[in-house]
Structure 1
Amino acid sequence: MSLKSASSYDTLFLRSLSDPEGFWSDAAKDISWFKPWTRCWTTATRPSTAGSPAGN
C-alpha cells in the first residue's frame, strides 16, 4: 500500500472508512509477521495501536 498522490490518499482514506476490515487486511500484508494474523478487525474492540488481535 503506497501513496503516490493526494487522490490515492483520498481513495485509501475513504476505503478505510467504508471497509475497515479490508483496508487493514491489505495494510497488514505489507508487514513481516512471525505468526500470521487470523483477523484484523473486530467489532468487540475499538482499533488501537496495541497490536493486532491475533498476529505477532
Structure 2
Amino acid sequence: MIACRAGAATAFSIWLINRADSLSDWKAALGIVLLVVALLDLGWKVQGLRHARRSEP
C-alpha cells in the first residue's frame, strides 16, 4: 500500500511539474501535492482506525 501511495504521489507530482511554467506555479504545484498526500494519508489512517475498532472483541 505504501508503494501504491508513493507511486500515485510521484505520478501526480510529475504531471503538475510538467504543467508548471514559472516558479510561482512550482510552489503552487508543490503545495497541492503535499496537501493531496496529507489528505490521502489521513484518510488511510482513519480507515485503519475504523478497521482496528471493528476487529476488537
> Considering the TM-score relative to the shorter chain, is it more than 0.5?
no
In which range does the TM-score fall when normalised by the shorter chain? Answer: 0.3 to 0.5
* Higher share of residues assigned helix: 2
Instruction: Please say which structure displays the higher CA radius of gyration.
Output: 2
- The alignment's TM-score, normalised by the length of structure 1, stands at 0.33
